[in-house]
């Protein structure tokens, strides 16, 4: 077949003309793809930023709602607190009445085990103002860092000790709630009864059983040496030591979980009209571990001179911490000295440091005894009580006894003076001064 030269030349020119134009086509596609990817990336980044902002605002809104709810709860604290205590009271009550001292004894709060108690009542601030004659200065029983205690007469004629708490903030509120909650549920003849409370607006008051002879501190360490009251005799001191031991035994070993008082001292031991002791002030108490000697890590709170060394240095709290504090009180009953006294000669400032080496020396024990006793005590009993005190204030917590062991050791000593309380009541009646809390 013949080919037209002109046609062939024309085709070659056409191919030559078209061939340089084909390479640019892929370049345009690549640019388009990059452009699409950039738009997609910007979209993703924008969406992520919007999502993060949305989450941030949701969290912020949640916190504001939570804060508002908390504020509302504080404003309604009277109502909610009353309800919570009512539920606690109706749920269960610990009872260590005679004959019901089994470990962990827990019974329903009914008339069979609580018939003699009228229950914890709620008072208005106005009612307590009337009861104390406008919180008159002449009705003050005592005061301290916690607030002021007034003597008051309730509308039904009951004489009561009305404690107005001055603690501010969360710590004060927490202490108030703990004490109301525990005393509403724990019933023991060795704990001061809670008759009621007031949570009216910002006022926080406890209405407690009135103890006519005030605190143990008032009798062991009177502010004025020429006071009209007579010192506690040996038999009364033994009875007080046993009552306090029973109180701590109940808290440690007859409640589940155990309760650690954490602020056991002379000021919190009150004496009734027969000079029998009851323990008060559970505002700093902690619920213990279910494990034997279980430790609780907590803030170091309490009174200098009564704090167990391991608790003061590490914040590790156990029931053995209370036993150390009990040992200090026992030393006060023996010696008549305060736990820390900078006015005494060098080497005698800290009671436990001065007493511990002497407690196991029979010759030195007699030199330690409170001069107010004037030798009216049994030397044999003195040696036994000194041995108990020495065990309780051991620096190592593991070497301290259980409160049950202390109780069992004191029972045979105190039973010889079981009739002392009634004679004390008559003997002190004409010489007693106003009780101090």
The candidate with the shortest Cα–Cα distance to 320, out of 352, 296, 284, 301, is 296
* Phi, psi dihedrals of residue 275, rounded to the nearest 5°: 65, 30
pLDDT score, position 39: 77
Q: Which two tokens stand for residue 243?
A: 């009552």
Give me the pLDDT at residue 56, please: 76
At residue 432, the pLDDT reads: 45
Q: What is the largest distance, in Å, between two alpha-carbon atoms of the chain?
A: 156
**Can you tell me the distance from the alpha carbon of 265 to that of 305, in angstroms, rounded to the nearest whole number?**
9
C-alpha distances in Å from residue 382, one per residue of 91, 221, 403? 45, 20, 19
Q: State the DSSP code for 124.
A: -
| Bond preceding residue 257 cis, omega within 30 of 0 | yes
Domain boundaries, the chain: 77-209, 216-429
- Contact between 222 and 257 (Cβ < 8 Å): no
Mapping DSSP onto H, E and C, the string for 353-378 reads HHHHHHHCCHHHHHHHCCHHHCCCCC
Q: Which residue has the tokens 């103002």?
A: 129
Q: CA–CA separation, 261 vs 247, rounded Å?
A: 10
77-209 under CATH 3.30.200.20, yes or no:
yes
Contact 410, 240 (CB under 8 A): no
Q: Is the pTM of this model over 0.75?
A: no
DSSP 290-345: SSTT--EE----S-TTTS-HHHHHH-EE-HHHHHHHHHHHHHHHHH---SB-TTSP
User: Quick check: 292 and 280 in contact, CB under 8 A?
Assistant: no
Using the Cα atoms of residue 146, residue 211, residue 197 and residue 322 in order, give the sign of their dihedral. Answer: positive
User: CA 63, CA 431: separation in Å to the nearest integer?
Assistant: 62
Structure tokens at 85: 């205590």
77-209 and 216-429, same CATH topology: no
pLDDT at 48: 78
Cα 85 from Cα 181, distance rounded (Å): 6
| Listed residue (212, 197, 217, 307) closest to 261, CA to CA | 307
pLDDT per residue, tens digit, the chain (437 aa), is 444 554 555 555 545 544 455 455 555 555 555 566 677 778 787 877 788 777 877 877 777 666 555 444 544 444 445 444 443 443 333 343 333 333 333 333 333 333 344 578 999 999 999 999 999 999 999 887 678 999 999 999 999 999 998 866 677 788 899 889 999 989 999 999 999 999 988 899 999 999 999 999 999 998 765 555 678 999 999 999 999 999 999 999 999 889 999 999 999 999 999 999 999 998 888 887 544 455 565 667 778 899 999 998 888 899 999 999 999 999 999 999 999 999 999 989 999 999 999 998 888 899 999 999 999 999 999 999 999 999 999 999 999 999 999 999 999 999 878 654 444 444 444 344 456 67
Angle (nearest 5°) at CA 126 between 123 and 127: 50
CATH 3.20.20.370 assigned to domain 216-429? The reply is no
Given a contact cutoff of 8 angstroms between Cβ atoms, the answer to whether 216 and 266 are in contact is yes
The C-alpha atoms of residue 56 and residue 66 are separated, in whole angstroms, by: 15
Q: How far is 220 from 266, CA to CA, in rounded Å?
A: 9
Both tokens assigned to 420: 């002392």
Cα angle 322, 254, 315; round to 5: 30
What DSSP designation does 326 have? H
């Amino acid at each position: 077949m013949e080919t037209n030269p002109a046609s062939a030349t024309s085709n070659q020119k056409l191919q030559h003309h078209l061939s340089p134009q084909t390479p640019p086509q892929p370049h345009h596609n690549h640019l388009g793809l990059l452009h699409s990817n950039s738009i997609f990336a910007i979209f993703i980044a924008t969406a992520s930023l919007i999502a993060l902002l949305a989450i941030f605002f949701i969290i912020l809104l949640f916190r504001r709602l939570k804060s508002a709810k908390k504020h509302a709860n504080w404003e309604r604290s009277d109502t909610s607190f009353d309800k919570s205590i009512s539920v606690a009271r109706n749920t269960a009550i610990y009872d260590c009445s005679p004959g019901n001292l089994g470990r962990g004894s827990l019974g329903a709060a009914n008339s069979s085990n609580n018939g003699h108690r009228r229950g914890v009542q709620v008072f208005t601030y106005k009612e307590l103002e009337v009861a104390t004659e406008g919180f008159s200065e002449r009705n003050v029983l005592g005061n301290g860092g916690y607030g002021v205690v007034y003597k008051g007469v309730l509308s039904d004629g009951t004489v009561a000790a009305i404690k107005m708490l001055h603690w501010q903030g969360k710590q004060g509120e927490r202490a108030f709630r703990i004490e109301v909650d525990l005393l509403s549920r724990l019933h023991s003849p060795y704990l001061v009864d809670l008759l009621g409370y007031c949570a009216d607006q910002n006022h926080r008051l406890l209405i407690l059983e009135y103890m006519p002879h005030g605190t143990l501190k008032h009798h062991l360490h009177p502010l004025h040496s020429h006071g009209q009251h007579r010192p506690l005799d040996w038999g009364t001191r033994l009875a007080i030591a046993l009552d306090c031991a029973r109180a701590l035994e109940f808290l440690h070993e007859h409640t589940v979980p155990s309760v650690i008082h954490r602020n056991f001292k002379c000021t919190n031991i009150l004496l009734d009209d027969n000079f029998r002791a009851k323990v008060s002030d559970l505002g700093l108490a902690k619920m213990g571990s279910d494990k034997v000697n279980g430790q609780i890590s907590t803030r170091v709170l309490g009174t200098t001179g009564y704090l167990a060394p391991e608790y003061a240095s590490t914040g590790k709290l156990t029931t053995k911490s209370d036993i150390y504090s009990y040992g200090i009180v026992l030393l006060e009953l023996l010696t008549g000295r305060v736990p820390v006294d900078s006015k005494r000669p060098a080497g005698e400032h800290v009671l436990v440091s001065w007493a511990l080496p002497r407690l196991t020396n029979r010759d030195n024990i007699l030199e330690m005894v409170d001069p107010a006793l004037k030798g009216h005590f049994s030397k044999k009993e003195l040696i036994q009580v000194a041995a108990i005190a020495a065990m309780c204030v051991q620096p190592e917590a593991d070497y301290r006894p259980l409160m049950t062991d202390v109780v069992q050791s004191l029972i045979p000593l105190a039973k010889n003076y079981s009739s002392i309380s009634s004679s004390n009541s008559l003997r002190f009646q004409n010489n007693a001064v106003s009780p101090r809390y």
